Amino acid sequence: MKATTAIGIALACGLIAIGARMEGTQLAALINIPATLFVFGGTFGAVMAGTSFERVKAIPRLYQIAIKGEEPDPMARIDLMTRLAETARREGLLALEAELDQVDDRFTRKGIQMVVDGTDPDVMRDVLEIEIEALEQRHADARRVFEKAAGFAPTMGILGTVLGLVNVLQNLDDPGSLGPAISSAFIATLFGVGSANVVFFPVANRLKELTEAEVRLRTMTLDAVLAVLEGENPRVLREKLLSFVPPELAAASSGGQARAAGRAPAEQGSLAAEPAAEAVAA
């Protein structure tokens, strides 16, 4: 479910607010402009100081990916590679060239093009593995912005609290204002620790999950492309690829295949697969 990140953040914030209210905290007291500037302004500045401007500009897009991004569908890719293997086995490897325009995923299309071109299997593996490693590195660099923010935010919160306490100590001649002033000073720590653990770390972890899902899909695709090149039996290939997916999905797919075996052959339709876009844009 692609909305889990947004739901999780909203749920955490809501339950924290409810808990605070049950303890007697006035939520209006949490509206503190200086604390907001200390934490979010300071964190943004610290992240910008150690990151390229291009990565800073990508932050809104990365948030959108974390909240709306869906993990790729491995079953669609397995169906696609099985059909391509059947085509190659029945009509030869060169017949795959006619199917390239119907393959949406760029990585898969590149692998099939190398098969059509007669690329050596070892060279093909090296090229595609390098591309997978490069994707992992790009995505790691992108999500590092949020990991850095999660590290800076609590420190900025403590900084805001310290400055607030300095102000309190300068006004000890007014005992009646000490309580509210100290309370206000600690709001910065609350904002820093809260934003790190409720927003920044969860977003970074979600981006990491999306990357891992894309890497698994590409690794599976690489094995499938090499199997097509070697002329492996499509049924054997499918069973091999099903080992990449959760057991319940594999069992459901195997059951569907068994039922389909008793019916007429599947119609020869389009080979367009579910697009497996990168989890994080380069």
Residue 240 CB partners (closer than 8 Å, separation 6+): 223, 227
Is 171 or 227 the better-scoring residue by pLDDT? Answer: 227
Q: Does 263 score more than 70 pLDDT? A: no
Q: What percent of the chain has pLDDT over 70?
A: 89
pTM: predicted TM-score of the whole model, two decimal places:
0.80
* Mean pLDDT for the stretch of residues 83-107: 91
> Per the domain annotation, does 189 fall within a domain?
yes
Q: Across all residues in the chain, what is the average pLDDT?
A: 85
Of 60-69, 93-102, 216-225, 270-279, the range with the lowest mean pLDDT is 270-279
What's at 146, amino acid-wise? Answer: F
Helix H or strand E segment including 14: helix 4-22
Cα 98 from chain centre: 33
> Per the domain annotation, does 213 fall within a domain?
yes
> Per the domain annotation, does 43 fall within a domain?
yes
> pLDDT tens for residues 233-253?
999 999 999 999 888 877 776
Residue 145 CB partners (closer than 8 Å, separation 6+): 47, 51, 55, 56, 58, 59, 62
> Per the domain annotation, does 92 fall within a domain?
no
* Mean pLDDT for the stretch of residues 250-269: 49
> Per the domain annotation, does 102 fall within a domain?
no
* pLDDT given at position 156: 95
Of 153-157, 233-237, 270-274, the range with the lowest mean pLDDT is 270-274
Query: Number of folded domains in the chain?
Result: 1
> pLDDT tens for residues 53-76?
888 889 999 999 998 878 888 999
Q: Please spell the DSSP secondary structure of 93-112, one letter per residue.
A: GGGGGGGGGG---HHHHHHH
Helix H or strand E segment including 237: helix 234-242
> pLDDT tens for residues 165-210?
988 888 777 777 777 788 888 999 999 999 999 999 999 999 999 9
> Per the domain annotation, does 269 fall within a domain?
no
Q: Where are the beta strands (DSSP E) in 56-166?
A: none
Q: Which range marks the domain in which residue 221 is found? A: 4-73+126-246
* Mean pLDDT for the stretch of residues 34-57: 92
**What CA dihedral angle connects 251, 254, 256 and 259, to 10 degrees?**
-130
Of 4-13, 26-35, 257-266, the range with the lowest mean pLDDT is 257-266
